[in-house]
Chains A and B, each alone.
Chain A
């Protein structure tokens, strides 16, 4: 997930891997609590729905932990 310039454009698979994964986790989280309602299913739901938030946190921490050499305006 490093922001170094890549030599060529990414394939659609590469672009959509993470979004698809997060979307699938969200859906399974939404459904498992609705269909299950028991201890385990609730826990599965909480964990799956936390994943998008966790991924956002990790990405933001990475971006802000690197020293910023901000360029000029566009």
Chain B
């Protein structure tokens, strides 16, 4: 590698790092509490749900049709929008609204939400809990809620919604560029240093440089994976949007202009779950959206299914069941880019290997913070010197060890 190429890579590393460091520090620090959010909520807020009734073992679940009918009788004249049996508790969550139009109108008013939900015991159909009524005073804010909410919004979008997400996605891309250029520089700087050397007997700057190199290279692959999957996650809104305007629109086209049938004329919800399970073998059916929702068809139940194995657990396959006849219309595996998005989620969150994995994630995150800070120190200490001089200075400093020397005479003179 010529000095010229090296200098270019150095500039690439310097500028890409400078641009993204502040934002990376933010996401690295806010990511830490998010890793343990479940535990934090449990410890500081707790769960005020009433305990489940103890029923004789083997008690079967009630038909989902009974639960839908019960929801209708609790709120006559309203519509059911969605029904979702809980993954690991014997509960069924039913979402309702005055009408589809009311939900659509909500979008114009940020603090209006006419939708509400009811949680039923899946076995006895007893009402376990309901959402707070819209006119009730808001619940007191807890410190945990404020802190976790702030961390989450900073981490995902810097409080700037979609533009914030896309901006952080861009920063993720720049971070990956900084990792690539950093790796190339590492190879050059380590020419005469054994792996893992941290020189403490020479200039303090060299200690920081060695630390930066050691911490950086040891966590390189982890940082690349988490950075890249973070970038993919930030693209979820446009990626889902792309799917909606292409495949989904194509599938729903023949039905787009049909009227939404009245809910008392719809086919069995329980049977739709069974039809969907058969249409997507090996998948678990988790949720059913009623005809008329903004993303679905006016005449179909949309059933959300996902794979049963850990790798496939985040790969969703929607199934359409005609709500007028109960007939299967089809199962529609997601396009490759959404499958890629779903697989990249666990690799970003670190939530797929129990508590030890979360702790390792946190420790690796702390090391990356160390890389960012040592990088900042290296930059701040020498920022008045041009990149060129700096490289040459490094060359002198390295000359007996690393061979990174521009001119031997100049090196000796500078000493």
Contact = CB atoms under 8 A, between A and B. Distances in A.
A50 B353 CA distance: 13
Contacts of B402: 9
Contacts of A2: 194
Contacts of B196: 1, 18, 55, 58-59, 62
B363 A16 contact: no
Nearest to B361: A49
B125 to A, nearest CB: 34
Nearest to B390: A74
Given A6-B194, A27-B221, A46-B356, 11 more contacts: A2-B194, A3-B199, A15-B190, A15-B195, A19-B186, A34-B347, A37-B309, A37-B310, A53-B367, A59-B214, A70-B204
B223 to A, nearest CB: 10
Contacts of B104: none
Contacts of A36: 310
Given A1-B196, A23-B221, A60-B198, A50 B360 contact: yes
Interface in B307-324: 309-311
- Interface SS of chain A: helix
Interface residues of B, number: 49
A18 B194 CA distance: 10
Contact of A73 (B192, B204, B214, B309): B204
A52 B198 contact: no
B220 interface: yes
Interface residues on A, range: 35 or more
A38 to B, nearest CB: 9
Contact of B360 (A3, A49, A64, A73): A49
B380 interface: no
Contacts of A1: 194-197
Interface in A8-50: 8-10, 12, 15-19, 22-23, 26-27, 30, 33-37, 42, 45-46, 49-50
B356 A73 contact: no
